[in-house]
Amino acid sequence: MTSTPDGGRPVSDDPAQTTQLRLPGLRTAGLRRLKKELPRYDYEHYSRLAGPLHQPDPNKPYTVRYRSLLSQEPHKIRAALMLGAAPLLSLVLLGWLLQPTHWTERDYPAYDFLPALDIVMLVSIGLIEFFRCMNVLSNAHATLVARDPIPVVPESGTRVAFLTSFVPGKEPLEMVTKTLEAAVRIRHRGLMHVWLLDEGDDPAVKEVCRRLGVHHFTRKGVAEWNQAKGPHRAKTKHGNYNAWLQAHGGDYDYFASVDTDHVPLPNYLERMLGFFRDPDVGFVIGPQVYGNYDTFVTKAAESQQFLFHALIQRAGNRYGSPMFVGTSNAVRISALKQIGGLYDSITEDMATGFEMHRHKNPATGRKWKSVYTPDVLAVGEGPNAWTDFFTQQLRWSRGTYETILKQFWKAPFTLPPGRFFNYTMMVIFYPMSALNWILAGLSCALFLGLGASGVNIDPSIWLMLYGNASALQIGLYVWNRRHNVSPHEPEGSGGVAGMVMSALSAPIYARSLMDAVLRRKSKFVVTPKGDSASPDTLFGTFRIHLFFILVFASSMVASFFFGHSHPAMLTWATFALLITAAPIFAWRSALRKERRGRARRGAHSRRSSTPPPPRPAPAAPEPGRPGPAAADRQPPRETGRVPQDDGPFTPPYEQLPQQYAPAYAARSAGPAEAPERPLPAEYDALFRDATPAARAPGAAVRPGYGYPPRVPRQESRTREFPAQDGADQTMRLPRHPE
């Protein structure tokens, strides 16, 4: 079940050291031209957003101290006007819309059921506008109370376990290897062991752990730890962690954990553990960011989380109750054991945090509290396909509904008023979004299709009030972008992709709500990662969106036949239809772009592999005129084939770093003794098949290889290597001839 590594790794005691991850530059296929290099994200700066580490006063009991975000705002009057005007105007719109004088009255209804449908319409319109007001109020409240903790130096000598889990077949071994390689470099002034919690028992996984000095744990084959339900439910993350907690939790004071696809930074523990000097702190969490920032889905998925990680969680610091997030955290083991371990839920992190906030610390008699730090201390992998993104959103929303149905009814009796209000503002997001979407579809169908009308209003007044209220709502969102914690989004960006992504996810939240209400069985689904990403299909990925497209489109078509038209409802239906169809259009556009790229690569490969036309025989010299001298003859133009002779084939390598030139010349000449400075594998891979030794004499160069050297599109990135002898080792390949 448990394997102990042969050795450990050196521990650094320097808390000032940080790290900066670097991403390579990007090249186009065929190397026809250089693209703009990808930025080198400043993770070092973003890992210290909360400020420098402080030494707490040893003569006073330590409690976590905070710094208000609003107190650092230079334009406080402008901020106050924004915070007051946005919710106020939304409330004015709600009150004006629901005035009794605006209610629909029918003296002689065309159908007997229309008055009843009018009441349904009135309630739907009122709820939709009420939910929008609650959203604005939640954002304004979070802006007002958001604060960051002041970090302190951790205590020395504490015992810490760093955990990550692994699910064979769902998560690539290469991914967890990178996570473990980063984990063993984490600095801590005390005992720290890295553990891999393996759902399987693969010898290859054990070998990786042995090589890196990582402890291996598996619950495979232990019936007690593989139950059908409960804290040790089989094939779940919380079941895996609870098994380790029962077996080894007593050996440590705290454990820190990240998801398998998250790479921790070396200062991970230095920035988190200091808050545990406060005896009432049960867990500490950090933000979630995605490092595979190369597709629209990934970029928009990270931007969608802006409000939660940059504002809502910081507002939770005001009440000591930020939500527990499983991607980046540290936990006091005694507090977790007190509540029975991680909670049995498909979103075990949220459910576990809620349970801990309800319980008291037996040593102090006060409620357990949590701390959210804005420091980016782990960089993960986000969904890069629509299927994976929708799967993630479906699980998160379903877990929230389960928490509301199974646990939240206890909140008014066990949580202080501030925490109860904070949790309410957090958990209502998914149900409000789902109900908004369902009621929007219902209203469009009733009004445009059947002629029901809840209110009779002046369109010009409605447009003025609704437009101004929406503008202030968006303005508050954009104004808060200055508090963004993502190192990937450009500074000053408006976060439009995140807003759009939240709207595109509403049909998913609606489906999840229906599953929860109908008590359909839910199961824990690991978000596909790496090469296991799920393919997108029209009826597999977008079937929920297609259903709502049918609802809105049918309503609009029916309105033209029956004459049930109103500017407000037509605007609403058109906007909803575009939002619902947007992910399908984006997916089809990406497919067309990918096909064009494959066609260009195929055409380029065919051109490079087509043999040249035969050269005409040289004309005989005219009598009396000597032929051209041998020195004046031009060499034949390179045709993409390896020379037929047995001599060395040495393409130009002026742009190769000088220290590797002898090694490359030796390789081009064929087998030889290893030079003093061997050629790195990365260079060797780029220039493979460029020598006659690699192929039979006269064999054609395969598409994508040979001289001039080329790399396939999926590997088309600028390779960077550690600098040697102070030289710049960034390799620049020669331009490919047309």
For residue 372, the domain's CATH number is: 3.90.550.10
Share of the chain above pLDDT 90, in %: 59
Average pLDDT over residues 411-433: 94
Is 138 contained in some domain? yes
Q: 87 and 6 share a domain?
A: no
Average pLDDT over residues 302-306: 93
Last residue within a domain, chosen from 589, 604, 629: 589
Average pLDDT over the chain, rounded to an integer: 81
β-pair partners for 160: 192, 254
Is 426 contained in some domain? no
Q: 115 and 239 share a domain?
A: no
Is 313 contained in some domain? yes
d(CA 400, CA 409): 13
Is 279 contained in some domain? yes
Q: 315 and 326 share a domain?
A: yes
State the Cα angle at 376 between 302 and 729, rounded to 5°. 95
Is 438 contained in some domain? yes
Is 137 contained in some domain? yes
Q: Give the range of the structural domain holding residue 238, as residue numbers without chain letter.
A: 2-11+60-67+149-381
Closest CA to 383 of 495, 261, 533, 523: 533
Q: What is the DSSP letter of 736?
A: P
| pLDDT tens figures, 602-658 | 777 767 666 666 655 555 555 555 554 444 444 444 433 433 444 444 444 444 555
pLDDT of residue 316 exceeding 90: yes
Number of separate domains in the chain: 2
d(CA 505, CA 697): 58
d(CA 656, CA 658): 6
d(CA 277, CA 62): 6
pLDDT of residue 710 exceeding 80: no
Q: 374 and 260 share a domain?
A: yes
Q: 124 and 214 share a domain?
A: no
End-to-end CA distance of the chain: 60
pLDDT of residue 427 exceeding 90: yes
Contacts of 270 (CB under 8 A, 6+ apart): 15, 53, 153, 154, 187, 188
Q: What is the DSSP letter of 530?
A: G
- pLDDT bin (cut points 50, 70, 90) of residue 365 is very high
- Point out the least confidently predicted range of 12-26, 126-140, 144-158, 514-528: 12-26
Q: What is the pLDDT of residue 300?
A: 92
- Point out the least confidently predicted range of 433-442, 453-462, 694-703: 694-703
Average pLDDT over residues 700-707: 34
State the Cα angle at 74 between 69 and 75, rounded to 5°. 105
d(CA 482, CA 335): 35
Q: What is the pLDDT of residue 622?
A: 55
The secondary structure of 12-78 as a DSSP string is ---TT---------BB-GGGSSBPPPPP---HHHHTTTT-S-BPPPTTS-----EEESGGG-S-HHH
Average pLDDT over residues 553-568: 85
Closest CA to 664 of 642, 697, 692, 691: 691
Task: Give the highest mean pLDDT range of 67-76, 521-530, 547-556, 592-601.
Answer: 547-556
d(CA 350, CA 357): 11
- Point out the least confidently predicted range of 182-196, 223-237, 620-634: 620-634
- pLDDT bin (cut points 50, 70, 90) of residue 567 is confident
Contacts of 132 (CB under 8 A, 6+ apart): 90, 436, 469, 473
Q: What is the DSSP letter of 697?
A: T
Q: What is the pLDDT of residue 115?
A: 87
Last residue within a domain, chosen from 589, 616, 643: 589
Q: What is the pLDDT of residue 525?
A: 62
More confident residue, 346 or 652: 346
Contacts of 4 (CB under 8 A, 6+ apart): 215
Q: 307 and 443 share a domain?
A: no
Dihedral over alpha carbons 554, 557, 562, 568 (to 10 degrees): 90
Q: 548 and 579 share a domain?
A: yes
Q: What is the pLDDT of residue 258?
A: 97
Q: 540 and 471 share a domain?
A: yes
Q: What is the CA radius of gyration of the chain?
A: 31
Helices (H), 563-691: 567-609, 661-669, 681-686
More confident residue, 518 or 245: 245
Last residue within a domain, chosen from 562, 589, 616: 589
The neighbour count for residue 94, using CB atoms within 10 Å, is 18
- Residue position matching structure tokens 């508050």: 476
More confident residue, 255 or 109: 255
More confident residue, 104 or 623: 104
Q: 162 and 103 share a domain?
A: no
Closest CA to 403 of 357, 367, 339, 352: 352
Q: Which long-range contacts (CB under 8 A, 24 or more apart) does 521-527 make?
A: 522/346, 522/398, 522/402, 523/346, 524/235, 524/236, 524/237, 524/346, 524/395, 525/346, 525/391, 525/395, 526/167, 526/170, 526/171, 527/383, 527/388, 527/391, 527/392, 527/395
Q: Is the overall model pTM greater than 0.85, yes or no?
A: no
Is 583 contained in some domain? yes
Is 288 contained in some domain? yes
Where does residue 179 rank: exposed (0-12), middle (13-18), buried (19+ CB within 10 A)?
buried
Q: 535 and 581 share a domain?
A: yes
Q: 136 and 169 share a domain?
A: no
Q: 452 and 550 share a domain?
A: yes
